[in-house]
Each structure stands twice: as C-alpha cells, then as structure tokens.
Amino acid sequence: MNLSLASEWKKRDLDGLLIPMYEEELSFEGLDIPMEQLLETKRFEGKVGSQYTVTRIEDGNFVNMVLLGLGKRGDIGYRKLLNVLADGFRTLKKQKVKKGAILFVGGSVVANDTYVKAAVEATIMGDYLFDEFKSKEEEEAEELSFAIVVEQPDRYASVFEEAEILATANLVARDLVNQPANVINSVTLAQRVEELGEENGFEVDIKGLEEIQALQMEAFLSVARASDIEPRLIVMRYKGDPDNEEILGYVGKGLTYDAGGLSIKSTTNMVTMKDDMGGSAAVIGAMCAIAEAKLKRNVVAVVAACENMISGSSYRPGDIIDSMGGKSIYIGNTDAEGRLTLIDAMHYIVTEENVTKVLDIATLTGAALHCTGNAASVAIGTDDQFYDDVNEAFYLSGEQIWRMPIFDEYKELIKHEEADLTNTAGKPGTITAGLFIGEFNGGLPWVHIDIAGTIWSTKEEGVLSKGGTGVAVRPLYYLAKA
C-alpha cells in the first residue's frame, strides 16, 4: 500500500472515500449525500462503529463513499478509534478500491495528532494479510494508494512518521509469529534478527550452543536438548543515550515451537504453538521501532530461543535441574518450559548487560485466558512507578493490560521441599508463573506480562488480522520513549 498525507482531494481522481462523522453532526461539504434522508430512515446516524456506503458516478467512474460513525464528539477512546478506522478502511479495500482517501477536512471531524496517528496505524495494520505460502494464480493486483487528507500536512509529518514506524514494527512481530515452525526456529529467528538489526540500526549478538553452555544456562539448555535444532541466545542492544547509565531491559520468551515435551500437548493445543515465541516477537518488533525512531534511550533485549520437543535427551517430570542464577528447580511438568528459558535470560540480562529496570513478556500460561480472556494482557510487578509507566504505555497504544496482585501466600507456592523452586506451583497459575521468573530479577524494578490471551486472533476485526496480533510492540516502544 502507498500511504501518504495530502492537503486536497478530487472525486474524479479517487474511487473510494472514507468519511468519519460524529453522531448528531452529520454534514460534509462538496458531496452529494442525502444526510437528512439517512437520519430520517435511521440508515446512518453516526453511532460509533456504524457504516453506510453511498456510491456515486463521477466522470464515468464509480466512487464508493463509506460514512463512518465515531459516536458523539469527545466520547471515543484511542483503542476504539483505531478499530473503527481499520474496519472502515477494510470495507473500502473489500470494495476493490484502488485510490482511496480518508477525509479529515470538509466535515465535523477535523484532523488532530490523534486522528492522524490512528489513521496511519489503522490503515497499515488493517491492510495486513499473511498469505505468503498461498499460490499466486492471478496477476498481482495494482497497489492500493491511500491518502490521509488534512489541512497543513507538514504539521503532521512527524506524527505520520512515528505512526508508520510503529505500525510497521507491529507487522514485523505478526510475521514472525505467523511463520510456521519449520520456517522460523531458533537458528532462523536469530538470522532474521540480525537482518532486522542491520535494517533498523541496533546491535545484535548471537550466542550459540557452546557460549550458552559456558554461561551455565542449565534451565534453558534442559528445555533445548530434546530438539535437533540448536538453541540461540539472541541479544539486541540499542544505545540511544550512551552517556546515561540507565538501561531498560526487555526479555522475550522465544519458544519457536512447543510440543509440551514429555508432558505432551494434545494436537488441538499444539497446532498453533508456533505462536509461543510471541514474547520474543514483541521485543524484536519494539527494538525495530525504537532504533528506527532513534529514541534517546538505552535498551537491551534478550531472547532465549529454542524448541520444546521430545527425544531421548528430553528433561523429565520429576527431574531437578540447575539454573544460571544458581537456584535448583524441581520439574513438575515439562510443558511449563517457558519460565525455565526466561529465568536464564533474565539472570543474564541483569548480571551481564547491567540493565537498571527489566520487563519480561511471554505467552506463559493458559490461565491468563481465564483472567482477562482475549481483551487484555495480564501483568504483575514489584515496582508501582514502573508498572504505572507500563500501564500508560499500553494506554497510549490502544492496547489493554491488567495488573494482578502479589500476595505472600503466592510466593510460598513456588517453593519446593526437594529443590529451591518448582516450575509448577499451581493456582493462581498466571501469578505463580510470573513470580517464578521474578526470583531472578536481581531485585530490580520489574514487570512481567503474560500475553497468552492476546497474541493470537481467530478472526479479522479492527486492526487485527487472523493469526498473530503483534501485541505489545507499540507499548514497549512507548515505555522506552517515556
């Protein structure tokens, strides 16, 4: 798609118009639209998310005009705005529009930074489709050209640029999650990160099997041993403020496929397990955006990438294993593997990269779905100010997060009589799994985010396409920016 800002529009040059309107303020100059009749018949009243298509013939060409309701002025939040604009854009796209525009001039809805930002993100993310492996029998369709029409486009140039960077980074994460596990594994993921680092301007350090062994990452290696594909420790560094000692640390879960190990999953639960590296996709996408935007912040991201498979080398339920942090772990279930890879990555980023705050993000527990469903990611944290910053970053992006409590009783559940810790502490599973990782945060301000419920969408809706959602990429960017 060719997306641009424009200061004017002409009906004869376009075959699709997206016209946002407020409820009770239905008007637009220069278009032959029977507003009074639409109101009288209640076909379109401007209610939030409502749409109505009017088709006109201009100079022999069809022009589809989609009226898009934003509800009452001042009521719509950013999350809803994004989804409403994306649905409107998708309507035009399904109508085979080749040259379209969204109009923030001529009506009651006038451009501001928020509307321009939302329009850019909504169109780019709403345009995404993962069809890389489908045969292309038809000729390639003409590229869609879409303009965001505002007064004084130069005023919104920086807003447009940042929104484009963020939306593109979100799609980077979606692509990584959507790739099948026979394409993206620990080795090929590391190679892709190297390419992205070169393209966007961040340093990449890939550590192979021998270096991982030398670091004594026994928890990580215990998971990785069953696969024929070697693990990789992926370290990404961005130094936007080299004179500042503060370093923000991101740790992303990088299970490129999770069969459950000897505690094997059912086929139904296994078929989408290519998405178990969604946490790594989030931090990789965020690093792309942070570096591309040249934020004045130092950020390090770490991913312990491997598969959780079955072989004679598999770790077993009942095993007691070591960790880089020196704590012993009783294995109650080999399908609770993500937290094992994360604790070694966490200890590494705290002790070797000297971060001053750390956030880990993972598709960690099915229990997260029972907490907030698909509507929000779940979080715990030890530092109120740091969590508030994370919460604000999610709010700015239009994504949702919910903080769970940390009670002393929950901390007792992760202990074990035969080892220092157990990887299966029981209910509440989302909290205890996070607390297990928190044992290795070095006492730093720390937030854990569980995206098991938000990493995947089963339908095309709003800015989401079917498959990977790219969740948390934009919030992690805003957290670094703040």
Q: Which CATH class is domain 168-481?
A: alpha beta
Instruction: Say if 2-127 and 168-481 have the same CATH topology.
Output: no
Report the alpha-carbon distance of residue 276 to residue 378 in Å, rounded: 16
Residue 398: is its pLDDT beyond 70?
A: yes
Per-residue pLDDT at 27: 86
Given pLDDT bands bounded at 50, 70 and 90, which one contains residue 31? confident
Given pLDDT bands bounded at 50, 70 and 90, which one contains residue 345? very high
Query: What's the whole-number mean pLDDT along residues 391-408?
Result: 97
Report the alpha-carbon distance of residue 255 to residue 401 in Å, rounded: 23
Catalytic residue among 90, 192, 253, 339: 339
Q: Is residue 73 among the annotated active site residues?
A: no
Residue 32: is its pLDDT beyond 90?
A: no
Q: Is residue 42 among the annotated active site residues?
A: no
Query: What's the whole-number mean pLDDT along residues 251-260?
Result: 98
Query: What's the whole-number mean pLDDT along residues 40-54?
Result: 94
pLDDT digits (tens, 9 = 90+) for 100-147: 999 999 998 999 999 999 999 999 999 999 999 998 776 666 789 999
pLDDT digits (tens, 9 = 90+) for 320-336: 999 999 999 999 999 99
| CATH architecture assignment, domain 2-127 | 3-Layer(aba) Sandwich (3.40)
Given pLDDT bands bounded at 50, 70 and 90, which one contains residue 162? very high
Phi and psi based region of residue 21 (left: phi greater than 0; alpha: psi -120 to 50; beta: remaining): beta
Per-residue pLDDT at 439: 98
Residue 88: is its pLDDT beyond 80?
A: yes
Which of 29-38, 42-51, 288-297 comes out lowest in average pLDDT?
Answer: 29-38
Catalytic residue among 265, 327, 403, 411: 265
Boundaries of every domain in the chain: 2-127, 168-481
- % helix / strand / coil in the chain, to the nearest 5? 35, 20, 40
Whether residue 445 has a cis bond before it, omega within 30° of 0: no
Per-residue pLDDT at 139: 61
Given pLDDT bands bounded at 50, 70 and 90, which one contains residue 34? confident
Report the alpha-carbon distance of residue 121 to residue 432 in Å, rounded: 35
Query: What's the whole-number mean pLDDT along residues 52-75?
Result: 90
Q: For CA atoms 103, 108, 112, 114, give the dihedral sign.
A: negative
User: Chain-wide mean pLDDT for the chain?
Assistant: 96
